[in-house]
Each structure stands twice: as C-alpha cells, then as structure tokens.
Amino acid sequence: MELVIFSALDGLQARAEALRDLAVLAPSRLDQVQRLLSGERPPDALYMDDSRGVPLPDLWRSAAIAQQAGVRVLLNLYGPARAALNDAQSAGIPAISQADPEAVAAWIGVQLGLAASGGGGRLPVVAIGAAKGGIGKTFATCVLAEGLRRRGLRVLVWDSDISNPGLVPAFRVPTSAPSYLHLIQRGPAHWNPTGIRPFIYAPEHTRGGGEGWGGIDFLIGSHSVARAENDVRLPDWQGFFAGVAAAEGYDLVLIDTPPDYLRRPYATHVLQQGGTVILPAPPGSRERMGVGHMLDHFREHAPERLDHCTLLFMEPERGVTASVDDVAGLFARRYPQVSALGTLPRSPRLASMADEYDGYISMLDLGPHSAFTQASHRVTEALCARLGLSPSLPMPRVSPWRRLVAGLQGDKPAMPAMA
C-alpha cells in the first residue's frame, strides 16, 4: 500500500515506514502532493496535518482532489486548523487532533488496517441504530449476538450507548468488568488491538452452550465511569472505532449505538467506513418517523452507502394498528436502496422471563422452539448472508411438531402481522 504524508511532524515519516506493507512518500510541498494525486498511479492514501502552516483551504482542496481520485484521506488537525476538526468529520473524513508522532503513526496504521503489531485487516462491523430510544436496539443486539454465536461465530459486542447501557443489565455484566472509557482517555496511541484486549470483558456465560458454538465478548463503557468529564468526543469515538474494527479473534463487531444521532452519528460513521447498519423498525407512527429521520440522515451523509443499511421489522405491541406489511411497503417505496433483514415477533413473555431469571439466560434458550426463536435464527441467517460470513454451524431448525407443542405450552407463537 502506498501512503503520501504531508507533514512536518518530527519522526512521523520514520514511524509510518515501520508499519507493515506500507510504502511512504513524504513531499514537502502541497503542489507536489497534488501532482502525485493527479498522476497516472495515485497513491492508496493521503495523510495531511496542519504542521506545515499551509492555509486550511489549500488542505481542503487537496483532500477533495484525493477523494475524487479514490484516494483515502486521513487528517490530523492539532495546530492552527484544529477548529476545522468537526468539519472534517462531518464530511466523513477520518480525522484526529494529535501532536505525538508515535500516536499518529499508530492511528494511521489502524485506519489503513496495517497495525504495527501485524494485526490483520478489518472485521465486518454492524451498527444497530435508531433515532429514538426504546425502539429495540439493545434487544436486537442481544438476539443477533446470541443467534450468531449459535452459528459458531465469535462476536464482539460494543456498548456505545453509554448514557443508557442496556446491555449491562441484559447480559448481567458485573460492575467489576473493565470500562473502555478508561482506554479512550489514555489516547489514540493505545487504540489498537493490543491496547484494547485487556479492556474486553469475556464472561463465561456467553461461551460454550452447544458444540462448536462461538462466543460473545463485550466492550462496556460502564455507568460509573460514564460521567460528564468522561464524555467521548466524536473524533475519539471514530479513532477508537478503527481500533475495535481491527480486533483479533473475532468474526464480527456488533455496536449498540445511542439515539442522539446528530451529536453522536456513530451509525453514520459505520456506514461511511464500509460497515452495515441495522435499523430496528417497529411499525408505530413515532417509531416509523424515527426510522425515517435516520434514513434521511444517511441519505444526506452516506448516499452511496444506503444499500448497506437494512431494516429489522419488529412486530408491534398489541393494539398498534399499523402492520409490518404496510410499513415495509412504505419504506420500500421511499428508500428503494434500503433492504429488509426480516421481522422479529414480539415475545413479551420470553423477554420478561429472561429479565426475571436469576443470572443470565438468552431468550433463545428459554423458548428454543418458539416462533420468536425461529424468527431470530432466520434474521441471523439473513445477516450472515449480507455480510458474506460463512458460519461453521447450520441454521438451527425445529420440526413443525415441536413448534406446535411449544405453542400449546404457552410459549406463544408470534402474533401474526396485523392486516
């Protein structure tokens, strides 16, 4: 891979050259950079910072030329152009503000999937997003993680909704579990697979189970650490994201995201960085509106990536008059690029039993033959297909007879979609 560096940061070039599989060119003038970009064989990536005292508009112009040529752009605005950090990020450009060359080189490595430790490429990343709380993001994250583990996959679940960490009670995460917020505070130099490993919580109760099953591990931003002074700034989240996506020993990363998508456009960033976004979509009118807001946001900020966004329909609660079918048709017309992953039935009984259970248990184990569990397996299967994963275990199937018995036992089959 070829990287052009435009920087006067002492020692950065040497450190970048130490990254594996990277050839570095470091011209000292911006017109030389632009010539490389518009040449016959443009480089793969361009790193620029504001250490050479070049006016900001000139940096922007080079960034634009690079993007037009299909060159990945990385920005480090730590000096005079620091105030433009937000602009860079909202334009979808990975950007940090960092004066330490060691940390910058590590960040470049992670961004380009070339961690110095010899780490591999990037994992598939799936963000569960919504513009509204209480819509089922955390619920969907739990169900998908459990579904994937039953296919032999190793899942890293990242709780990034730190002001409302629903995964903590759901998976019975103890307060003694490490919090990645401490790691974020240590700075970008530590946001690589080696630095992240000690901050991963790997409970016993989400591994084993059946023969050949995978496991679920967690990155938790514990409540006690999530105080105002530890608020995660967007550039930090984005830098940390790159490190998590390079984590070793997993097949994919699932991110539970917060609903304040304007201030914390995490799902948008995942989409822009080549990941997949799942939007839980209950058919009620407010929920529908929330999904619409989110899709409009994606359409504005990642228009060419809308086809990597998919809707997970959720059966409505009793009494809601809108049906999944109606709403599915509506979204299909308004957002033709956005696909559907499937539909999760509502199973308040299984959900409540899991909540009340003494310790952790998955809904999929409480009602293994239920319509809910079957639907969860189908949705998991659809997700694997989308991501191009080939799970080592087949989709669990249940005979119609077992399903009938389960239904009679009160493990109620799903409500049919309302007409």
Ligand X SMILES: Nc1ncnc2c1ncn2[C@@H]1O[C@H](COP(=O)(O)OP(=O)(O)O)[C@@H](O)[C@H]1O
- Report the interface residues with Mg ion, using CB under 5 A: 137-138, 166
Span from 43-51, 132-140, 222-230, 400-408 in contact with ligand X (CB under 6 A): 132-140
Here's the x/- map for ligand X, 282-321, by CB under 6 A: it reads as --------------------------------x-------
Q: Which of 43, 136, 152, 316 binds ligand X (CB under 6 A)?
A: 136
Query: Does the protein bind ligand X through residue 348 (CB under 6 A)?
Result: yes
- Min dist. Cβ of residue 255 to Mg ion (A): 12
d(CA 55, CA 253): 39
Residue 351 interacts with ligand X (CB under 6 A): yes or no: yes
Q: Buried (b) or exposed (e) across 63-73, using 16+ Cβ within 10 A?
A: bebbbeeebbb
Residue 350 · residue 372 · CB < 8 Å: yes
Closer Cβ to ligand X, 15 or 132, answer by number:
132
Cα diameter, the chain: 76
Does 166 interact with ligand X (rule: CB under 6 A)? yes
**Shortest separation between residue 359's beta carbon and Mg ion, angstroms:** 21
For 69, the token pair is 């040529």
Q: Which does 135 bind (CB under 5 to 8 A by kind): Mg ion, ligand X, none?
A: ligand X
Cα distances (Å, whole numbers) of residue 408 to 102, 353, 372, 398: 63, 17, 14, 15
- Interaction between residue 221 and ligand X (CB under 6 A): no
Cα 338 to Cα 168, 284, 333, 378, distances in angstroms? 31, 19, 10, 19
264 is an interface residue for ligand X by CB under 6 A: no
Q: Which stretch binds ligand X (CB under 6 A): 133-141, 145-153, 184-192, 260-268?
A: 133-141
In the complex, which residue's CB is closest to Mg ion? 138
CB of 10 to ligand X, least distance (A): 46
Q: Which residues pair with 126 in a beta bridge?
A: 254, 276
Partnered with residue 4 across adjacent β-strands are 25, 46
Residue 347 binds what, of ligand X, Mg ion, none (CB under 5 to 8 Å, by partner type)? ligand X
314 binds, among ligand X, Mg ion, none (CB under 5 to 8 A by kind): ligand X
Query: For residues 26 and 294, which CB has a smaller minimum distance to ligand X in the complex?
Result: 294
Q: Per CB under 6 A, does 346 bind ligand X?
A: yes
Q: How far apart are CA 331 and CA 175, in angstroms?
A: 41
The piece of 66-74, 128-136, 203-211, 230-238 that touches ligand X (CB under 6 A) is: 128-136
d(CA 376, CA 360): 18
Q: Which does 130 bind (CB under 5 to 8 A by kind): ligand X, Mg ion, none?
A: ligand X
- Candidate segments 85-93, 127-135, 186-194, 390-398, binder of ligand X by CB under 6 A: 127-135
Nearer to ligand X, 79 or 134 (CB): 134
Considering beta carbons, is residue 54 or 142 the nearer one to ligand X? Answer: 142
Q: What DSSP string describes 263-326?
A: T--HHHHHHHTT-EEEEEE--SHHHHHHHHHHHHHHHHH-GGGGGGEEEEEEPPPTT----HHH
Residue 79: which of Mg ion, ligand X, none does it interact with, CB under 5 to 8 A by kind? none
- Is there a contact between 33 and 63 (Cβ–Cβ < 8 Å)? no
Q: Which residues have a Cβ under 8 Å from the Cβ of 91 and sit 6 or more positions away?
A: none
CB 369 within 8 A of CB 402: yes
Give me the least distance between CB of 253 and ligand X, in Å please: 17
Cβ-count burial 337-359 (b if 16+ within 10 Å, e if not): ebbebbbbbbbebbbeebeeeee
Q: How far apart are CA 202 and CA 219, in angstroms?
A: 9
Q: Which does 139 bind (CB under 5 to 8 A by kind): ligand X, Mg ion, none?
A: ligand X
Q: Which DSSP category does 71 fall into?
A: -
Q: How far is the CB of 125 from ligand X (least distance, A)?
A: 18
Residue 190, binding choice from ligand X, Mg ion, none, Cβ under 5 to 8 Å by partner class: none
Which of residues 138 and 192 has its CB atom nearest to ligand X in the complex?
A: 138
Residue that the structure tokens 């990020």 belong to: 89
Contact residues for ligand X, defined by CB under 6 A:
130, 133-139, 166, 314, 344, 346-348, 351
